[in-house]
Amino acid sequence: MSQYWSSLVHRLTPYVPGEQPKLPNLVKLNTNENPYPPSPHAVAAMQEELGAAGATLRLYPDPNADRLKDAIVAHFVEFSITPTQVFVGNGSDEVLAHAFMALLKHETPILLPDISYSFYPVYCGLYGVEHVAIPLGENFEVRVDDYARKNGGIVVANPNAPTGLLLPLAEIERLLAANRQSVVVIDEAYIDFGGQVIPTAIALVNRYPNLLVIRTLSKSHSLAGLRVGYAVGNSLLIEALERVKNSFNSYPLDRLAIAGAAAAMADKEHLEKTRLAVMNSRAELTANLEGLGFEVLPSAANFIFTRHAQHDAAQLAAELRQRQIIVRHFKLPRIDQHLRITIGTDAQCQVLVGALREILGQ
């Protein structure tokens, strides 16, 4: 608190990101990073951009990141989108922030699931967007019919976080069709882990001018450290985001990020290999945890959401931590007996299962 703070800053409740401990040798399963390295082509493209003397960094990057937008368009060639339908930003968190400001700030409150990515209500606080929390169903499912009411917009993470549950594309379409008067934001941070065929709502953008799909390279492309996210939607929605971006920071992506992200989007083979590896490990980890008596929600993400009827979640997290394994526990209503565990390498998953077996005394 300080007399120098604005009244807005006094009122803010900022987001608290998952811990990034500085300790070596941790089994870090708390922030849904990818356990595999990014595409070697992405790394090479960044090295090339940097050049021997780093001379290119003297110059500002392309404010429109055209090279990256072209790579995103090419990545989704089957959906026939154009560069004017693509927005890029400094992580999907920034893209989301601009969407709240540009498309969701109206007289009428927006609708959010009561359990979802906890940054959404933080943006509401920052930008003065009223929201109504719509309870998830008994099994944590998003019930589309509950969103059939007057609203200034809807934001749904699909798969949802921290549950990992996927809403089928047909349900997303029902949500869009029932809310044509407002913008529906689908946050697809984890969608690439959603199945053999990726069930992305980008397939619907050319039919629904009210749909904005937000994506990130942090998870399936293993580039959380680069900070690149993007949105795909009708060009009028994208124009709104560009207007906010150009009233805030013209150069949200630096030269290395543009080069690395464009190469990562082009390397579909690497994406396919790593996302399948994560999905396979997820199936095996789920089976192993169920064998130890855990209930595991069916996950379409690179994490699982799980509970054990006989063991307190906070206690389990603390005991794992003593063994250098960190997972995420949320002290929130309805989910305080669950743990969110990122899918690591198979070796990391085995260490986790071994530790839990020991803690449970099995």
| Residues found near ligand PMP in the complex (CB under 6 A) | 91-93, 117, 157, 161, 187, 189, 216, 218, 224, 229
Find the length of the chain.
362
- What is the layout of strands, in order, in the sheet containing 184-187? 86-89, 229-233, 211-216, 184-187, 154-157, 110-113, 131-134
- Least distance from ligand PMP to the Cβ atom of residue 228, Å: 7
- Least distance from ligand PMP to the Cβ atom of residue 92, Å: 3
- Cβ atoms of residues 285 and 306 within 8 Å: no
CA-nearest of 171, 175, 191 to 183 is 175
Q: What three-state secondary structure class fits 328?
A: strand
- Least distance from ligand PMP to the Cβ atom of residue 161, Å: 4
Axis-axis angle for helices 255-266, 40-50 (nearest 10):
150
- Closer to ligand PMP by CB, 257 or 355: give it: 257
- Closer to ligand PMP by CB, 216 or 286: give it: 216
CA-nearest of 198, 216, 314, 311 to 257 is 216
- Closer to ligand PMP by CB, 85 or 216: give it: 216
What residues contact 207, with CB distance under 8 A and at least 6 apart?
Answer: none
- Least distance from ligand PMP to the Cβ atom of residue 150, Å: 25
What residues contact 116, with CB distance under 8 A and at least 6 apart?
Answer: 155, 156, 157, 160, 161
Strands (E), the chain: 27-28, 86-89, 110-113, 131-134, 154-157, 184-187, 211-216, 229-233, 294-296, 303-308, 325-326, 339-342
- Least distance from ligand PMP to the Cβ atom of residue 211, Å: 17
Written as six digits, the tokens of 178 are: 């029932």
Give helix then strand counts, H and E, for the chain. 11, 12
- Closer to ligand PMP by CB, 189 or 317: give it: 189
- Least distance from ligand PMP to the Cβ atom of residue 98, Å: 12
The count of other CB atoms within 10 Å of the CB of residue 80 is: 10
- Least distance from ligand PMP to the Cβ atom of residue 124, Å: 15
- Cβ atoms of residues 185 and 136 within 8 Å: no
- Least distance from ligand PMP to the Cβ atom of residue 46, Å: 17
- Closer to ligand PMP by CB, 288 or 342: give it: 342
